[in-house]
């Protein structure tokens, strides 16, 4: 870094993205002020308590608070006065009853901040938004008292839940959507420690920066649904999708990441992002370009149906008066995020079909109880499996992958298991006397 003073950083929104970004910027040595309109959340974060589970982040939060470099507030005026660079990290959920993204939180953040900006600064959008959003927000910033001294950039995030700290401090790349050289140089100053460590930088325009994130998620969703479509074909032919994906992974043009068949993707990003991408394509008159994403979405949802069908086969055609153990509630391991969780969707549907469902997850129990109060919950995998007629492994936590089939077999009523993530060794479970089924495998 140069001898110039380090810019002071603010972060608007302290959800998953914002809290992670604020903590990591403070870890890099910046003075950071993070804002949220939720007073209880601000109080908790100020006390070193995270409102969600993310490995490594709690320790880093407490460490950076102790240095004095990280603070939290509910005041937009304080943020406007403090910051040289303002990162907008608020959510863009799917609109109720629509595919389109809800930009109300983004618009509110910009509308609240702009009238208070009295001196030159850079406002950086990190939220996932439809292409063309930044151009409209630039108009809002033009109304700031500091006028042309307030600049806009778009810097999309590429965080993976469970690896957010690593992805922030050691990202694959940095994307800068800018309209002038001054904005680029400011971003280079903010990310100087990462750039010095060799992280590649892509400098582009607003629209391309916005598209990078949604295009990446659309590609990943397509790859997941591709192998799940192959699982459907494997079931029809007697082939093994696990062996198929393993063979495909040796092809360097394809690779093995995101090529694991199972009950499909969920969470707060991939499902809503591909739907918002389709909606935006329709608004732009190029809906046919992304029509394939409708099938990507449909394949993904069909996997949940197939899991239920296989579970029904294991219970001899009915869920009435059957006890089902569901291992997993989070949409993925190393997270407590249950948004659009395939595991909980399946569990809830089994409940409504007459099953007595017991759910266990290492981290997502509190969230699951609030969102799905009609389900029953256990204190451990063994408790969930007690007297179960069938066990469904639906989130591939390490502790589930490492379960001893003999130990689990001692507590169930029937040794029947559905491996919804193709994460278990079929031979090991069958040799222990279990009736093992999985999606896309004999």
Q: What pLDDT score was predicted for residue 1?
A: 42
Where residue 264 falls (left for φ over 0; alpha for ψ -120 to 50; beta otherwise) is left
Crossing angle between the packed helical segments 206-237 and 241-249, to the nearest 10 degrees: 130
CB 389 within 8 A of CB 322: yes
CA dist 177 and 214 (Å) reads: 14
**pLDDT at residue 3 in the model:** 62
All domains of the chain in start order, with CATH: 9-204 (3.40.50.720), 219-438 (3.40.50.720)
DSSP-derived 3-state class of residue 381: helix
Determine the Cα–Cα distance for residues 212 and 197; give it in Å rounded to an integer. 22
For residues 158 and 321, what is the distance between their CA atoms, to the nearest angstrom? 45
User: How buried is 95 (Cβ within 10 angstroms: 0-12 exposed, 13-18 middle, 19+ buried)?
Assistant: middle
Q: What is the pTM of this model?
A: 0.94
- Contacts of the segment 180-189: beta carbons below 8 A, 24+ positions apart: 180/151, 182/151, 183/122, 183/151, 183/152, 183/153, 184/153, 186/7, 186/84, 186/85, 186/122, 186/151, 186/153, 187/85, 187/122, 187/124, 187/153, 187/155, 189/1, 189/2, 189/4, 189/6, 189/7
Mean pLDDT of 415-439: 98
The one catalytic residue in 24, 121, 234, 269 is 269
pLDDT in tens, 377-422: 999 999 999 999 999 999 999 999 999 999 999 999 999 999 999 9
Residue of 387, 246, 234, 220 whose CA lies nearest to 306: 234
pLDDT of residue 5: 83
pLDDT in tens, 323-372: 999 999 999 999 999 999 999 999 999 999 999 999 999 999 999 999 99
Going by C-alpha positions, the residue among 424, 354, 369, 431 that lies closest to residue 391 is 424
Longest dimension (CA), the chain: 73
Residue 155 in contact with residue 174, Cβ under 8 Å? Answer: yes
Instruction: Average the pLDDT over 150-156 and give the result.
Output: 98
Summarised one tens digit per residue, pLDDT across range 253-302 is 999 999 999 999 999 999 999 999 999 999 999 999 999 999 999 999 99
What span, in angstroms and rounded, lies between the C-alpha atoms of 343 and 327? 8
Dihedral angle over CA of 256, 262, 267, 273, nearest 10: 60
89 is catalytic: no
* pLDDT at 2 exceeding the cut of 50: no
Nearest 10 degrees: CA dihedral of 82, 83, 89, 91? 50
Tally of helices (H runs) and strands (E runs) in the chain: 19, 14
Cα separation of 126 and 143, whole Å?
21
- What six digits make up the tokens of 17? 């993205």
Whether residue 369 contacts residue 338, with contact meaning beta carbons closer than 8 Å, is answered with no
- Per residue in 48-78, pLDDT (tens digit) is 999 999 999 999 999 999 999 999 999 999 9
Query: What is the model's pLDDT at position 30?
Result: 97
The mean predicted confidence, pLDDT, of the chain is 97
Q: What's the CA gap between 277 and 128, in Å, rounded? A: 10
Q: Are strands 70-73 and 32-35 parallel, antiparallel or unpaired?
A: parallel
């Amino acid at each position: 870094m140069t001898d110039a003073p380090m810019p002071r950083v603010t972060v608007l929104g302290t959800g998953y993205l914002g809290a992670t970004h604020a903590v990591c910027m403070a870890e890099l040595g910046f003075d950071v002020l993070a804002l949220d309109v939720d007073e209880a959340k601000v109080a908790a974060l100020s006390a070193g308590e995270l409102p969600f589970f993310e490995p490594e982040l709690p320790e880093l939060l407490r460490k950076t608070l102790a240095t004095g470099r990280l603070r939290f507030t509910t005041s937009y005026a304080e943020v406007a006065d403090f910051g040289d660079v303002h990162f907008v990290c608020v959510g863009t959920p799917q609109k109720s009853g629509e595919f389109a993204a809800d930009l109300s939180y983004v618009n509110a953040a910009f509308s609240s901040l702009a009238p208070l900006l009295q001196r030159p600064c850079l406002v950086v959008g990190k939220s996932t938004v439809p292409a063309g959003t930044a151009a409209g927000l630039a108009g809002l910033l033009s109304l700031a008292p500091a006028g042309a001294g307030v600049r806009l950039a778009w810097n999309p995030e590429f965080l993976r839940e469970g690896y957010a700290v690593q992805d922030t401090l050691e990202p694959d790349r940095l994307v800068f959507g800018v309209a002038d050289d001054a904005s680029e140089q400011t971003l280079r100053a903010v990310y100087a420690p990462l750039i010095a460590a060799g992280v590649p930088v892509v400098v582009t325009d607003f629209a391309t920066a916005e598209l990078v994130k949604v295009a990446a998620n659309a590609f990943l969703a397509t790859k997941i649904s591709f192998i799940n479509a192959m699982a459907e074909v494997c079931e029809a032919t007697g082939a093994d999708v696990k062996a198929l994906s393993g063979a495909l992974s040796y092809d360097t043009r394809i690779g093995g990441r995101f090529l694991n068949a199972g009950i499909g993707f969920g969470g707060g990003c991939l499902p809503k992002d591909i739907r918002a991408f389709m909606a935006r394509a329709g608004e732009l008159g190029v809906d046919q370009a992304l029509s394939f994403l409708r099938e990507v979405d449909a394949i993904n949802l069909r996997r949940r149906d197939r899991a239920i069908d296989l579970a029904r086969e294991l219970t001899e055609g009915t869920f009435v008066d059957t006890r089902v153990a569901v291992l997993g509630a989070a949409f993925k391991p190393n997270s407590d995020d249950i948004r659009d969780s395939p595991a909980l969707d399946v569990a809830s549907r089994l409940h409504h079909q007459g099953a007595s469902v017991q759910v266990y997850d290492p981290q997502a129990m509190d969230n699951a109880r609030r969102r799905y109060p009609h389900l029953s919950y256990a204190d451990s995998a063994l408790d969930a499996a007690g007297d179960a007629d069938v066990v469904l492994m639906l989130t591939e936590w390490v502790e589930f992958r490492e379960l001893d089939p003999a130990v689990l077999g001692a507590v169930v009523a029937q040794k029947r298991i559905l491996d919804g993530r193709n994460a278990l060794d079929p031979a090991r479970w069958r040799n222990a006397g279990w009736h093992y089924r999985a999606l896309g495998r004999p």
